Structure 1
């Protein structure tokens, strides 16, 4: 059984563009139709940047019927968000965008947002990159006790030079999402990531989860498919660690 901890859901009808890309006309039912036959039984919907801090679409998606149980990660305005209601809707985390190369870094807000979401037991997911790792490490002692940080897309590390990642993982407060498509130069086979994921899984089996990043916005063709990603994880992780990554760890993190 599989948990996909990173997907986005849009609408089957196109709408106005409000962000950096035109949302594909694919929704949660399209995802379920593709993922459920592969053994995906639980999934985490990450609010897309095109929705800003408007959580209404995400809350609606989390109410969808189907063969996949859902949780959510919201983008929030900490001054106005009703975290109690969002938690009741199935949201278990917020996300911070820290992509300096894209001119979109909100890492300075991490301490304040951490104090806000700690009250409802959420974690924080960071779309960040190695140039911020030292800064994050210095922030860790100031964050609420027990609050976890999750690095999206393997922290956008260079597969050949991942050592900066270990310092964060060694803290026991940082987890990593083994989503391969943003870091691999071998989309569809991911042979360049087998060694990296094997090292992470062997050293930090309790701090890994996996996400497909479906439906792969802002990703060059060919559009990635889910089965090769699962094959990568099966090849790189032993059977016990694979289960932790795909089922046990998401259970603890998102409260399915």
Structure 2
């Protein structure tokens, strides 16, 4: 018997895109930020991603504003708009949504929503010099004006502070933890904190494994954790590859390897929820 045909393509909920040439970088301030950043952006744009996506059967993707670009979302927005054109240069159809970074003065949010933006991203990684958790309520209020959710790049040391802030966020607004919440595999205290956040019912988890796993490419150290997350929170798990893997040392992972891992550890129903149904709900595909 042939397996059932998927009704929607897989969605990669966490990728970054960068310009292929210096002329596409928008300002001298952007270039200055690149010079000071923890990494130099690879010259890989959405056409490069489309090639890898085709191998994994990925037909949808979410563009995440890279931290080095700050609140200058212009390249991300241009990519969203260009992908809608008939002559977009992509080898295969690819439906996109976006997650931007804003501050208290950012303008044009409605135009961003029209372009396909569905959330804001807040950086709160003290190890990387980002401590924006205190600004989360103000930024979340701004996001709520467009019916956007919030994606938070944080770490276990901040879970208790985040839990205290959750009741202050707009009612019904989802909060998504990037990169598996940066938990350490096997660290029971960190996992307990993660589960407490997820048990609130308003926190989602992004199963983007490459910055967490010690076995990049196999991810077998994350098997039990991912299995438990999918069992306990089946409607609030999504997957992201973190392509093009700017913070992962070579050899760089392949999206197909991550999908193979999910196929090993998740049931068909859990996999369909994580890769198709949940992203469609969260990002309104």
Deviation, 1:50, is: 2.1
CA–CA separation in structure 1 for the residues paired with 2:250 and 2:128: 20
Question: For 1:68 and 1:154, how far apart are their aligned partners in 2?
Answer: 25
- Pair 1:124-2:150 in alignment: yes
* RMSD, aligned α-carbons: 1.1
Within 2, Cα distance between the matches of 1:80 and 1:182?
Answer: 30
Aligned residues: 256
Retained in 2: the 8 A contact 1:3–1:41? yes
SS of the aligned residue for 2:113 comes to helix
Q: Which residue of 2 aligns with 1:107?
A: 133
Kindly indicate whether residue 43 of structure 2 is the aligned counterpart of residue 25 of structure 1. yes
List gaps (5 residues or longer) in structure 2: 1-8, 26-30
Q: Which residue of 2 aligns with 1:229?
A: 258
> Is 2:55–2:256's contact at 8 Å kept on the other side of the alignment?
no
Give the alignment of 1:134-173 within 5 angstroms: 134-161=160-187, 162-173=191-202
Other structure's SS at 1:105 match: coil
Q: Does 1:10 align with 2:24?
A: no
Considering only CA atoms, is the larger Rg found in Structure 1 or Structure 2?
Answer: 2
Query: Which string of whole-angstrom CA distances, capped at 9 and with x for unpartnered residues, describes residues 176-207 of structure 1?
Result: 00000010000111110011000000000001
Q: Distance in 2 between matches of 1:84 and 1:74?
A: 12
Kept after mapping to 1: 8 A contact 2:241/2:255? yes
Tell me the alpha carbon deviations over residues 95-135 of structure 1, each in whole angstroms, 9 at most, x when there is no partner.
Answer: 01111112211110001111111111100000100111111
Structure 1 gap segments, 5+ residues each: none
- CA offsets 1:135-178 (integer angstroms, 9 cap, x no match): 11111111111101000000000110222110000001000000
Residue 248 (structure 1) aligns with: 277
1:176 counterpart (202, 205, 209): 205
CA apart distance, 1:249: 0.5
Q: CA deviation at 1:227?
A: 1.1
Would the aligned equivalents of 1:149 and 1:175 in 2 still touch at CA under 8 Å? yes
Query: Partners in 2 of 1:38 and 1:56 — Cα distance?
Result: 28
Q: SS in structure 1 opposite 2:264? A: helix
Which segments of structure 1 move beyond 6 Å, counting only runs of 4 or more?
none
Residues 36, 68 of structure 1: 8 Å contact kept: no
Tell me the TM-score normalised to structure 2 length: 0.87
Which residue number in structure 2 is paired with residue 198 of structure 1? 227
Q: Which moved more, 1:157-166 or 1:241-250?
A: 157-166
